[in-house]
Amino acid sequence: MFELDVRSRQPIYEQLVEKMKEMIIREIWKPHEQLPSVRMMAKQLTINPNTIQKAYRELEHQGFIYSIPGKGNFVSPQAKPASQEKIEGIRHDIVRLVAEAFFLGVTKEEVLQWIEQAEQGERGGEIDDSLDERNENI
């Protein structure tokens, strides 16, 4: 399925939300497809079922999944107008984060390198964080 980094500073449920959103956005999980049960996913990932439930609640709140009581959780169909709103939200977040990075001394070349890393990951390649020399100093 996917792996979570238990040593990361990012909470497990946030990592889980990101991985699941990626699978939904890339349409690995199709609209209306049933997601694994909380119990099954907890067993596969060897994490607490409450963590899975928290991630599912967050995904439902963000509109990526919906639940049917007694049936389970399912992938929400992504409406085009909602997608445009999401794109605008992402653009806003990127502008804010890039401005913050510049404030912290990150160069334009480094930001462009990050974009290339993200693009490489989108094309199915592994995102190589080792190219970022700043990761070693964090």
Instruction: Give 111-131 pLDDT, tens digit per residue.
Output: 999 999 988 876 665 555 554
Instruction: Give 77-124 pLDDT, tens digit per residue.
Output: 875 555 677 788 888 899 999 999 999 999 999 999 999 998 887 666
Give the DSSP H/E element, type plus range, for residue 72.
strand 72-75
Question: Distance of CA 132 to CAs 64, 71, 100, 103, Å?
Answer: 31, 44, 17, 18
The average confidence (pLDDT) of the chain is: 85
Kindly give the pairing relationship between strand 65-68 and strand 72-75.
Answer: antiparallel
Instruction: Give 39-72 pLDDT, tens digit per residue.
Output: 999 999 999 999 999 999 999 999 999 999 999 9
* Cα Dmax for the chain: 52
pLDDT, position 70: 92
Decide which of 23 and 1 is more confident.
23
CB 76 within 8 A of CB 64: yes
CB 37 within 8 A of CB 72: yes
74: nearest Cα among 16, 30, 12, 23: 30
